[in-house]
Chain A
Amino acid sequence: MSTTKQSSVTSEPDQRWRRFWSKSTPYWFMSPYILIFGVFGIFPVFFMIFLSFHTWNPVQGLGSMEFVGLENYALGLTDPTLWQTLWNTILMALYSGVPQHLVALPLAFLLVQLGKRARHWLTTAYFLPYVTSTIAISMIFYIMYSRDSGIINQALMGLANWPVTAWAFGWLNHFLPIGWVQENSVIRYSVAFVVFWKYVGFNTVIYTAGLATISDELYEAATMDGASAWQRFRHIALPLLRPFIFFAVTLTIIGNMNLFDEPYVLTRGLQFASTNGMTVSNYLYRVAWEWLDMGGAAAISWILFVVIGIFTGLYFWFFGRRGLGGD
């Protein structure tokens, strides 16, 4: 009797302790992530809000920060370079983003038609550029784009001068050699192509996954009713893929508006990016780290944040409801 009582008394705090542990266990498991996210995710965001109202030259240490109110924003909004780079970003986003989806959608449809085995192999192949380092890809393209020794110009020169093809491509000689990443007129396309090439596989994978959710019966029924392959794609696959398209396009908008690595490497650390090759992210890097104006750069990134917000908002407004699968 007394022994049982005693044991229950001693087990009381013990049990509370155990309950605390079992309840808090998930939080303990999550804590490394929360800690890291707090330090590297949340803190920088708030610090950047703070920073955008100050001037700060980082090499002068934290003590050199000075409150300037909205000056950084005024400076940014009236800066012609900011608008030029924003325009470049939008154009590159369009040049790389639109073809990405126009190619990825039919490609995914084709892959699904090909059956499982071929699909797995090919999807992996298309996905490979996405998992490869952006820097490595950009460097390879930089070499291929080289004016005098690059494989692209060499091939074009071959076509223009080889007797068999000269009649058709001879006119190219007028433009060759093309400075793919040096000339203002082509640089946006050169950068956009690399981005397109890298992300088309990623979108293809999203769309193949989307297509896999569509029941075969729908296709079969349509085939029995005499629908062609195009009709099956247009009237069955496309409408049912809407949520996937919506998701993939949103990612493309956000990703492309933040474009940094590809143009940075292709222009040799912005050496060639005189007017048309520089994106907003490149510009804010220059303001922050080359010009050592952290406050100005923080303001630019908030301006960029608002612009991305507007674009995504517009996209949601126009396509959101239907895109998310509603009416």
Chain B
Amino acid sequence: MNLKRNLGIAMAVAGLAGTTLAADLRFDGYPDYDSQLEAILGGFPQHNVELLMNEHGGHHDKLKTNLATGSGAGDVVLVDRGFVGSFINSGGFVDLTDRFAPYKDDFAEYAVAQGQGADGRQYAVPVDLGPGVMYYRRDYMEDKGYDVDNVIDDWDSYLDYGRELKEDGILLIGDATAVATAYWNFNVEPGNGLFFDADGEPLVTGPRFQRAFELAKAVRDEGMDGQISEWTEEWYAGFREGRFATQLSGAWLLGHLQNWMAPETSGNWGVSNLPDGIYGTWGGSFLAIPKQSEHQQAAWDLVEYMISEDIQRAGFENIAAFPAHTETYDDPMFDESIEFLRGQQARLLFADIAENIEPVQPHEGDQIAESLMTTALEQVLNDGVDIDTALANAERQIRRRVR
């Protein structure tokens, strides 16, 4: 009897200990991370992980509501670079500075900085990167007798190439806005943020934005783009039919191109630095742990697992998520030549870019500023609004809205 009771107590205690050890976690994210997690969770038996996937926009909307109400968020959440600026200062994420400290130096410096709040603490940890690159049609360049290095020499040479292409009825790029976005994103003056300086003053009427708008306007006015918005059916068809000769984008576009957007154009493509040799980041994802999580330590175990070297490498293989862990760049798989890009060793280029990007401090007004600047750009390109007027208007509105 006594023995039986003791045994029961022992079993209860063991059961209790078991539950505290193996927690039920939920990972909230967007595709393709479901494919990645399904592939790697087999190697993570410590906790039970459930996935909650929503499409990109819906996922972030849900996360906003979860943070607002303090409930309903997963234990680990995936955050896109575009949202990380407005989320990390929210006070809704667990401070990961101490836990991340031992790994910090192994990760791309600029991405680590992007995950830090205004107080310098680490609230989000980079999990994949989007080195900014230019994809280009090799065959068009050969036809025109151009070498890629001459084309990307600076922005003027890039536009000159566009003028040449126009004679053959080929567009330089799908939409001119990408030229402006690339320019203002990747020529940030040292010490400044994207749209705001260190004191929070908007920079949008400055020379960087002037030049960005002028470049895009030249592309549009001279008929070098097709006003084909990204991620539309026309854009995909444009890649398949070779309507445009270049695309400025994140390295991750390669996965989309070869898997579903234009697999039949394999061998015609190449990849290079962005024009003017600038290093920049185009997208990328972060992991964070909401404070509302009841299993923060277990959640960190999952984050730690996902940023470990092997898993970072697996992510690259599974879903072409470019590793944020820079130690992985020595892996032989980075030397592999890529058939879609006519045998180019593109990953070496991506790694080189990732290691050279300068950190830019996010500002909580970035999202408002970006949205207002995109509208201003559309007004210049489509409605013939004067650049100075559009920028001055945008600046006024940014000042009003960023409080």
A contact set with B: CB distance below 8 Å? 55, 57-62, 64, 75, 79-81, 143, 146-149, 179, 182-184, 268-269, 271-272, 274-275, 286-287, 289-293, 296
Contact = CB atoms under 8 A, between A and B. Distances in A.
Given A272-B229, A290-B371, A148 B237 contact: yes
Contacts of B35: none
A149 to B, nearest CB: 6
Q: How large is the interface on B (under 10, 10 to 19, 20 to 34, 35 or more residues)?
A: 35 or more
A146 B87 contact: no
Contacts of B64: 58-59, 289, 292
Contact of B382 (A81, A149, A184): A184
Interface in B201-243: 227-229, 231-234, 237
Chain B interface, >50% SS class: helix
B375 A274 contact: yes
Interface in B60-103: 61, 63-65, 67-70, 86-87, 89-92
Contact of A62 (B63, B70, B229, B401): B70
B5 interface: no
Contact of B379 (A55, A62, A274): A274
B272 interface: no
B181 interface: no
B367 interface: yes
Contacts of B383: 184, 274-275
Given A59-B64, A59-B68, A293-B401, A146 B379 contact: no
Interface of B: 57, 61, 63-65, 67-70, 86-87, 89-92, 227-229, 231-234, 237, 367-368, 371, 374-375, 378-379, 382-383, 393, 397, 400-401, 403
B57 A269 contact: yes
Nearest to A68: B403
A148 B234 contact: yes
Contacts of A79: 397, 400
Contacts of A62: 68-70
A57 B64 CA distance: 10
B380 to A, nearest CB: 10
A292 B86 contact: yes
A21 to B, nearest CB: 38
11 contacts: A55-B403, A57-B86, A59-B68, A61-B90, A81-B397, A146-B233, A268-B231, A287-B401, A291-B371, A291-B401, A292-B64
B90 A57 contact: yes
Nearest to B365: A291
A156 to B, nearest CB: 16
The 7 closest A-B pairs by CB, nearest first: A58-B68, A274-B378, A59-B90, A59-B67, A291-B368, A60-B90, A148-B234
A14 B375 CA distance: 71
A182 B229 contact: yes
A268 B56 CA distance: 14
Contacts of B234: 146-149
B233 A290 contact: no
B394 to A, nearest CB: 11
B229 A61 contact: no
* Centre residue among B65, B371, B374, B403 by max chain A CB count within 10 A: B403
Contacts of A287: 401
A57 to B, nearest CB: 7
Nearest to A66: B403
Given A274-B379, A275-B375, A296-B401, A61 B233 contact: no
B124 to A, nearest CB: 13
A61 B403 contact: no
A286 B372 CA distance: 11
A104 to B, nearest CB: 34
A290 B64 CA distance: 10
Nearest to B370: A290
